[in-house]
Chains A and B, each alone.
Chain A
Amino acid sequence: MKLSHSLALTLPLVSGWAMAADLTVKFDLPQLNVAEYHKPYVAIWIEREDQSVASTLAVLYDVKKPNNGGEKWVKDLRTWWRKAGRDAKLPIDGVSGATRAAGTQTMTFAGAKYGLDKLPAGDYKLVIEAAREAGGRELVRVPFTWPAKGKLAASSNGKEELGAVSIAAQ
């Protein structure tokens, strides 16, 4: 690939910044008026263009249940389970976490720790799946390009189990 003179000067700066970038994911868990509200199980991952999983960032489930009882329901995150969960062994250090209450939740993933610095350049989607006991299951996909030109910011919306979802890298 032939690089123009000006691009050769700027590229090291851009890629250097991208490698150090932390990815921040903000997601809304709507407060639902239902008979039995249980905090949803949530999986967050980066999906390649071919829909395979590049990196699982978070799996939130009932980690406090005795005898790993909460793990039994992680397969309700059907999409994540099929693509990555079935072959993974829970708990995963730095990925497994407790369920979150309704409201806006923010999670930040350090670039080096979650393999973001090694992510080949290309088009990806941040996927977030929420499954609620006695409730529904919803996926929201936020497309983004890596590394981003300038500051990375993208968002999308769910309909019921997820509200606004946004990602940013700084």
Chain B
Amino acid sequence: MKKLVIAAALACVALSAQAHRPWMVPTQTVIESERETWVTIDGAVSEGLFDVDHMPLRLEGLAVIGPDGSSTQAPAPYVGKHRSTVDVQLPKDGTYRFTLASTNVMGSYKLNGEMKRFGRGGSSEVPAGATEVKTTTTVQRLDTFVTLNKTSTGALKPTGTGLEMVPVTHPNELHAGEKAKVRFLLDGKPLPNFPFSMVPGGVKYRGTANEVRLTTDANGEASFTLPAPNMYWVSAGYPANAPRGPGVEQPAKRYSYSATLEIQPE
């Protein structure tokens, strides 16, 4: 019997036809404190950034990479109607990376002459006797970064798996008007000529989206001037510019990356 095991942490977000965006936002990205320090991570899925009006992001499996590079599991989140929330203690000074990785398998098969879909919130197993099994695996990662008192780089080393952004310029030292550099990797290898976007939050009040579209160079890096202060959603997908929508043949494996970065005022 053929069994496909699904990691459902981000089920039904990955291949949604609507522009639903999964994101995490920390209560602060730069904390200065001499006392016991906590940061709260909110996670949600919404159309507008960073509106909390649709559905919570499943934060189970959220990993916290500390300043020394070691990884621990964040405590169990509270899952509300529109957002998930988890409080995480920051025991040492330095930069922490909050990273949420998942693999989701979706697809369709034929059984008794009927076409059935799976993985999109429905049954996650392909039954015996199914034919014409088509699957798409989406490997997804979400990142955000928080620094307590002094920046450090121990938590910023790439995991080397899936689609990943390496913040060459420290992610908690981004100031509007200054230059910044990022690198994109796929399974640890640089991705040249790779497009990605940065979208500032608050479209509802501003009107214009102000999406910044950038492309990495031959070394898989992009240098650019940081736009106006705001919380930004960085997003990238591999293969880039793959056609989407119902009826379109999906590639067998897709990668999706997003990160929340705060561009601070000068």
B residues contacting A by CB (< 8 A) are 18-19, 21, 47, 195-197, 203, 206-211, 213, 235, 237, 244
Contacts and interface: CB of A to CB of B under 8 A. Distances in A.
Given A134-B47, A136-B203, A137-B203, A34 B208 contact: no
A136 B19 contact: no
Given A34-B197, A161-B209, 9 more contacts: A34-B213, A35-B213, A35-B235, A134-B209, A136-B207, A136-B209, A138-B208, A160-B209, A161-B208
Interface in A25-69: 32-36, 38
The dominant DSSP class at the A interface is: loop
A60 B47 CA distance: 20
B210 A133 contact: no
A135 B18 contact: no
A100 interface: no
A133 B48 CA distance: 9
27 contacts: A32-B211, A33-B213, A34-B197, A34-B211, A34-B213, A35-B195, A35-B235, A36-B19, A36-B244, A38-B19, A133-B18, A133-B47, A134-B19, A134-B21, A134-B47, A135-B209, A135-B211, A136-B206, A136-B207, A136-B209, A137-B203, A137-B207, A138-B207, A138-B208, A160-B208, A160-B209, A161-B208
A139 B208 CA distance: 10
Interface of A: 32-36, 38, 132-139, 159-161
Centre residue among B18, B21, B206, B237 by max chain A CB count within 10 A: B18
Contacts of B235: 35
A137 B47 CA distance: 13
Centre residue among A133, A137, A159, A161 by max chain B CB count within 10 A: A137
